[in-house]
Structure 1
Amino acid sequence: MPPFTSMRRPAFLFFLCMFLLCASCLSRKADYGIPDFTDRQIFNKEIEHIKNERETSPLRSLWRAALLVRETDARPDDFEHKDDCIRRARALFDECASYTQKLVSEKNRDTQYADALRFAESLETAYSALGLAFEPSAEFAKARIEAETAFKNLPVLPSRQADKTLAGLIQGSVTVWVDLGVKVEKGMGYAARVIGSGFFIDERGYIITNHHVIADLVDPKYEGYGKLYIKKASDSETRIPAKVIGWDKTLDLALLKTEIKPPSVFTLGSSENLAVGERIYAIGSPAGLESTITSGIVSSFDRKLLSTVSVMQIDAAVNSGNSGGPLVNEKGEVQGIVFAGLPAFQGLNFAIPVEYLKTVLELLYSGGETEHAWMGAYGRTFKHKPSDKTGAGVEILYLMPGSSASRAGLLPGDIVSAVNGKAVRNIEDLQFVLIGCRPDSLARIAYRRPAKTETAPPDDKVRADNKTAAEGKQQPPDDKVGAQIPGEALVYLDVRSEYPGKTIYEREAEYRMFYPLFGMELVHSSVGNKRKFTVRSVVKGGIADESGFSPNDPVEIIRTKLFEDEGAVYAELYTKKRKSGYLDVNFAVGAPLDSLYLF
């Protein structure tokens, strides 16, 4: 070997090792652990960070300052120079609170009433959670009342229709026509358009429809041509220009506006008094055929087709073009908003309960995209015994690293019982309450904590008898639930992304994300092979349960992959499932990146 080459080899190997070391460091997940604020240096860093973040994220800063106050008040003797720490934490909270009061007045002057109300309510929530008396300035008190009055009065809903007959109501429905120009495929051009339905809810010309009908017009990724029109039921030839005011992708709702006086306006009723088997009527424009009304019955409730809410199943004939039309009862009151049936299953049609529309209506009127809140947790309805119908809260099974729920002090095993004073019996209740909460706001979460909560052991100290560990995590039978200690957490509500599971996938260790996404808790079973695990527990009704996995099944993760465009994550496993007779098998399983159980 030439001398030059032999001299360069050690240097090459050194730089190769350094590169691989740096690459491995870069590939590690960020550390989202909860800081120990009793450490003087960490305490000072937190105060500095809160001050630097106050102008860019005032409510998050207010929340973190409140957590610091609660921490120093709860265990003052653990802090070095405790008197100084308590004083500085309280002074910082007062500064953040004063700044928030000022922002309420500023947002109000800029007619940003929704934001002004969000700041005001969050400020009051923070004081209430800390048990402090809130003494607002006169300017704040006045601005808060003005913001609430203006925000609540954005919709102008009718108290009744001029004509309650079904023939009269049809005149208040419209055909929504989205012209997307001409598309060319294989050298051939054709007219691209989307046809849906809608209905007037306001004398000023406001119309409700589905988001998916007008999705291209508000999608920032769409670069093509697009114009929006409506056609009245009494005039199928004239196209009337319209514009999109607000939209909600999660609930599949949108608010449109025209400059005409509606011939008839619908009244929003309630779906809570509907029963299975009750007759309903769907009004719309199937295949563009205006003024069509079909009748049927409510087939079922609690169909989980949208990511965070349940919808109604109906047997009224619904086809392409009905999307966005009203579902009414015999009194003409809107009970729901029809959305497209499933093409692969003819005859199965669905409607969004009108309660969801009423909850976000003011936000739709305020304009733009309606975002929803979440706190970075995964859980299921808690029941004292399997026969319970309504549930007794929502048990937290998992907390995302760095989530606001985790930072606020919530723990796996806690049972959420209320949000901002509104009772929560099950996961559907919790999601409905969160729909009414604005992201970037503060919420008080009431919970019950089992008196003998045990933290799961670290991976390197997992008990050898995994069967015992799995059985220890099972819910007590019947009503033999142990003592529970009530508590309350102040939680910052973050923006729920389109795919919350993607955030978990990116933040969490690969094997840990199986619990919130697949409903299967894994623990290491081999020191030598870091990809071999044992199933500690399986969530009943989850994807792993439906795929035949059981506690104590051995699992080896071959690979996982994120498919963001499809909104799913894929996993390939090697396993010997008990329910399959312990046969060796490579098993593929997929999970959506969003679900009702992520909150």
Structure 2
Amino acid sequence: MRRTIRHMFSIACLLASVLMVSGCAGMAARSVDPSRRREFIAEDLRERIDSGNPEYAIARLGVLGEDDLFSEAELNEFAVLAEDALERLLTHAIEASEYRDALRFYRSLRALGREELLNGATSDDLLRRWADHEIQNGNEIAGLHLLLRLPDLTSLSDDELDRFAQVAFSNNNRFMLEQLSVVAGERDIEVPEEYGAFLEHRPTAAQLIEGTATIWVNRGVRLERGVGIPDRVIGSGFFIDRRGYLITNYHVIESEVDPTYRGFSRLFVRLPRAIDRRIPARVVGYNRIFDIALLKVEIDPSYIFSFTEIRTLEPGTQIFAIGSPGGLENSITSGIISATGRRFLQLGDAMQVDVPVNPGNSGGPVVNREGDLVGVVFAGIPQFQGVNFAIPSFWINHFLPQLYQEGEVEHAWMGVAVHETAERELKIIFVAPGSPADRAGIRSGDVLLELAGWRPTRINDAQTVLLDRIPGELVNVRVRRNGGELDRLVAVAVRPFSPIEDLLDRVSTEELFPPLFGMETSNISTNRWQRNFVVTHVYPGMLADESGLSAQDPFSLQNWRVDLDRRIAILQIIIRQRRAGFLESGLQLATFLERDNFL
């Protein structure tokens, strides 16, 4: 997919080069025959439509309509071809039971307002059929989580309520069974007594421990000063599927799937009652952005956990963490939620907890007093006691079905970095070249007003909307520019793991200043050997602002370094700060490459 993104960028560069004129003094300006540009664009549009990506062509047409390269009749002809292709793709996907693709094409047609091409399909119906298809194929947990995407379970028929409730009960999924039982009660449908008894019963600590496991990765021997030392990675995990599927952190099993890792790696699982037995395991799916992985072992677990839709817990809520700190299996510790909404990940947020977490706890479950799974341990700060973090189960629900599909989970993105303003708006401060937003004509400085029918006021809001989008589908976007509102169709693409790293060899250093450091600059160098700038704008709350920079501060760039091993970018400058009377001083700004402000 990285090659696809780079291919799109190369096309954008070629188109740009067709329009460029020479900027070198003394050289005559050159123009390119518009017919060649027309031919290239037309060929690209036809290829996209014929190759199963008509949304890309439609998004391009919206911008081409503002140019005079094609007539209105020609643009309409392309639009008809693309819409007809979408209708055919939707029909084929439904007939082939490829419901994820069907949902993508359905949403794209809805974004276009072409309900007459849907042939009676609805979003709820596609989700129900997708869930039922997964269950029929043995992926019952994936099917239950797809049901959570329904806006309202009351759309289920009585027969569907009964069937899905049986699946939830047999898989120990208390949260889903509760939701289905409520709907059944509203319809005066008698709920089996065993369901009620199950819902009233709460798991004991012993049962919860039985559902956990120690994740053990043997990475051979590493040499330190000529001495061989066993290289082991120990983490925790917990079962979510009676077929032997369990959840852990990606960073625990990274060596199993990282293509850049060249060493030895073998993955095993140890069970609570058989700690001397190592059971071979394999990685099924993983999500690097959320640091989550799904493993498979050939055993029947004694207890399985089920995710809830609890997004946040109130600070002070008592919680428990289960895992293998330092390799000590069957350990359970208690604490409280210290804070919520910590922007610790590229997407979503994290819970800050004071429950004791040590090396080996990573990937273990976090439960509340009722035994409900509310999060997954993923990080701690060794220098500080009681400052640890967990990923809320709410976020994992968005992509859990994809973990069963093998390989890395793909998320949709627009290709913009945004800043939350004091007016509770999202201002676009960077647009990645060749990204979906760039192709749709969205610019830096635009204010994001609507995204797929939602009005996001926080970065989390917009990211939540995009988490449910499927790469390739069309999304309606409304922005404000120069006091007016513009509507755009964006064909979202696969998000790169690290947008900044993906951009390093494609944009200039100063173009990355807004998303990385939160400042706009102007180049005031008098020759190509200088790197002199002046700050033109500082975004409140970002690194430049917290470092005391302000508009009109001149500086010279001394060093720019990206450390891919430590995942940081370092900017060293000599600056004359206005607030310090323009006295010259040195300043270093350092930030992580994985930013949380990209959509």
Q: Does 1:595 pair with 2:595? A: yes
CA distance in 1, matches of 2:385, 2:577: 36
Q: Does 1:552 pair with 2:552? A: yes
CA distance in 2, matches of 1:35, 1:489: 24
Residue 582 of structure 1 aligns to a residue whose secondary structure is coil
Displacement of 1:234: 2.4
Residue 401 of structure 1 aligns to a residue whose secondary structure is coil
Residues 416-452 of structure 1 show CA distances to partners (whole Å, capped at 9, x for unaligned) of: 34433345230012223323333x32242433415x4
Q: 1:449 is matched with which residue?
A: 480
Residue 247 (structure 2) aligned to one of 175, 200, 208: 208
1:150 corresponds to which letter in structure 2?
Answer: H
Q: Does 1:315 pair with 2:354? A: yes
Does structure 1 retain, via aligned residues, the 8 Å contact 2:363–2:377?
yes
Displacement of 1:81: 4.8
1:169 corresponds to which letter in structure 2?
Answer: L
The 1:92/1:214 distance shift into structure 2, 3 A limit, reads same
Does structure 1 retain, via aligned residues, the 8 Å contact 2:323–2:332?
yes
Displacement of 1:256: 1.2
Q: Does 1:47 pair with 2:36? A: no
Structure 1 length-normalised TM: 0.78
CA distance in 2, matches of 1:297, 1:41: 65
- Could you tell which deviates more after superposition, 493-502 or 274-283? 493-502
2:56 corresponds to which letter in structure 1?
Answer: R
CA distance in 2, matches of 1:175, 1:526: 57
Alignment coverage as a number of residue pairs: 518
1:556 corresponds to which letter in structure 2?
Answer: S
Q: Does 1:150 pair with 2:142? A: no
CA distance in 2, matches of 1:555, 1:595: 24
Q: 2:78 is matched with which residue?
A: 89
Q: Does 1:517 pair with 2:549? A: no
1:429 corresponds to which letter in structure 2?
Answer: D
Does structure 1 retain, via aligned residues, the 8 Å contact 2:48–2:56?
no
Residue 441 of structure 1 aligns to a residue whose secondary structure is coil
CA distance in 2, matches of 1:508, 1:210: 33
Residue 67 of structure 1 aligns to a residue whose secondary structure is helix
CA distance in 1, matches of 2:304, 2:70: 66
1:378 corresponds to which letter in structure 2?
Answer: A
Residue 340 of structure 1 aligns to a residue whose secondary structure is strand
Does structure 1 retain, via aligned residues, the 8 Å contact 2:553–2:577?
yes
Q: 2:567 is matched with which residue?
A: 567
Q: Does 1:430 pair with 2:462? A: yes
Displacement of 1:282: 0.7
Residue 45 of structure 1 aligns to a residue whose secondary structure is helix
CA distance in 1, matches of 2:378, 2:409: 19
Q: 1:542 is matched with which residue?
A: 542
Displacement of 1:68: 4.9
Rg comparison, structure with higher value = 1
In the TM superposition, structure 1's runs of 4+ consecutive aligned residues that sit over 6 Å from their partners are 137-145
Q: Gaps (5+ residues) in structure 1?
A: 1-28, 385-390, 454-483
Displacement of 1:199: 1.0
Residue 509 of structure 2 aligns to a residue whose secondary structure is coil
Residue 473 of structure 2 aligns to a residue whose secondary structure is strand
The 1:394/1:149 distance shift into structure 2, 3 A limit, reads farther
Does structure 2 retain, via aligned residues, the 8 Å contact 1:200–1:208?
yes
Displacement of 1:269: 2.4
- Could you tell which deviates more after superposition, 90-99 or 254-263? 90-99
CA distance in 2, matches of 1:170, 1:449: 53
Residue 496 of structure 2 aligns to a residue whose secondary structure is coil
Residue 127 (structure 1) aligned to one of 109, 114, 126: 109
CA distance in 2, matches of 1:182, 1:66: 54
Alignment of 1:166-181 (within 5 A): 166-181=205-220
Residues 442-484 of structure 1 show CA distances to partners (whole Å, capped at 9, x for unaligned) of: 242433415x44xxxxxxxxxxxxxxxxxxxxxxxxxxxxxx6
Displacement of 1:244: 1.3
Residue 295 (structure 1) aligned to one of 328, 334, 356: 334
Displacement of 1:587: 2.8
Q: 2:278 is matched with which residue?
A: 239
1:46 corresponds to which letter in structure 2?
Answer: I
Displacement of 1:171: 1.3
Residues 530-584 of structure 1 show CA distances to partners (whole Å, capped at 9, x for unaligned) of: 6332211001111211221101111223343333333233323222012333111
Residue 225 (structure 1) aligned to one of 238, 243, 264: 264
Q: 1:185 is matched with which residue?
A: 224
Residue 59 of structure 2 aligns to a residue whose secondary structure is helix
2:504 corresponds to which letter in structure 1?
Answer: Y
The 1:544/1:292 distance shift into structure 2, 3 A limit, reads same
Does structure 2 retain, via aligned residues, the 8 Å contact 1:559–1:572?
yes
Residue 444 (structure 2) aligned to one of 412, 422, 425: 412
CA distance in 2, matches of 1:429, 1:69: 28
Q: 1:460 is matched with which residue?
A: none
Residues 373-410 of structure 1 show CA distances to partners (whole Å, capped at 9, x for unaligned) of: 222111112442xxxxxx3x422122222221122132
Residues 266-310 of structure 1 show CA distances to partners (whole Å, capped at 9, x for unaligned) of: 222244351001111111111111111111110111222222232
Does structure 1 retain, via aligned residues, the 8 Å contact 2:90–2:106?
no
- Could you tell which deviates more after superposition, 526-535 or 497-506? 526-535
- Could you tell which deviates more after superposition, 247-256 or 92-101? 92-101
Residue 590 of structure 1 aligns to a residue whose secondary structure is strand
Structure 2 length-normalised TM: 0.78
Does structure 1 retain, via aligned residues, the 8 Å contact 2:221–2:230?
yes
The 1:523/1:355 distance shift into structure 2, 3 A limit, reads same
CA distance in 1, matches of 2:494, 2:75: 31
Q: 2:3 is matched with which residue?
A: none
CA distance in 1, matches of 2:18, 2:58: 15
Q: 1:387 is matched with which residue?
A: none
1:42 corresponds to which letter in structure 2?
Answer: R
Displacement of 1:216: 0.8
CA distance in 2, matches of 1:150, 1:505: 42
Q: 2:494 is matched with which residue?
A: 495
Does structure 2 retain, via aligned residues, the 8 Å contact 1:179–1:194?
yes
Q: 2:179 is matched with which residue?
A: none
2:114 corresponds to which letter in structure 1?
Answer: L
Does structure 1 retain, via aligned residues, the 8 Å contact 2:239–2:301?
yes
Displacement of 1:232: 1.8
Residues 31-85 of structure 1 show CA distances to partners (whole Å, capped at 9, x for unaligned) of: 775999x9655333212012234566x32xx12321354457x669x466543x1
1:123 corresponds to which letter in structure 2?
Answer: F
Residue 512 of structure 1 aligns to a residue whose secondary structure is helix
Does structure 2 retain, via aligned residues, the 8 Å contact 1:47–1:92?
no
2:43 corresponds to which letter in structure 1?
Answer: E
Residues 187-224 of structure 1 show CA distances to partners (whole Å, capped at 9, x for unaligned) of: 43232211111111112221111111111111112233
Q: 2:180 is matched with which residue?
A: none
